A = this chain, B = another copy of it.
Amino acid sequence: MSYSIAAAARRSGLSIDTLRYYERIKLLDPPARDTAGRRAYSDEDLGWLEFLTKLRTTGMPIKMMREYATLRHHGTASAGRRKAILVEQRRAVAARIAELQSCLDVLDYKITHYEQIEHNFMSIEPTVEGISA
């Protein structure tokens, strides 16, 4: 199957402008064109876009995504480097998850604190000054 840029945008969750932008900066190989010169994305293009958006979601900078994209053209010779990029990204993502988890704990703690305030409000002591955040 082949998809117009609007269809590709819909399916990838990226905007039309972003699709053209990704092509310009060489994240995405120029797709085929129809007789009128309009982009015609293939399923393979969409698959690559889907993977790209995963990388983006993990916070990989565009520069590194581009390196990865370029390496794809160099066949198996580049497989080692490509794998290394993914392994490093996995490490970064795991670290990020841990960091977020610890922030989640802080949020929970603070929220509990506010619930405490609410409870005090309901009861007798309206003492509040001095409670920091």
Contacts and interface: CB of A to CB of B under 8 A. Distances in A.
B100 A104 contact: no
A93 interface: yes
Q: At the interface, is chain A mostly helix, strand, loop or mixed?
A: helix
A89 interface: yes
Interface stretch (A1-9, A11-19, A72-80): A72-80
Copies assembled:
2
A67 interface: no
A64 interface: no
Contacts of A103: 54-55, 57-58, 93
Contact of A89 (B48, B76, B107): B107
Interface string A92-133: 011011011101101110110011011001000010110011
Interface of A: 44, 47-48, 51, 54-55, 57-58, 72, 75-76, 79-80, 82-83, 86-87, 89-90, 93-94, 96-97, 99-101, 103-104, 106-108, 110-111, 114-115, 117-118, 121, 126, 128-129, 132-133
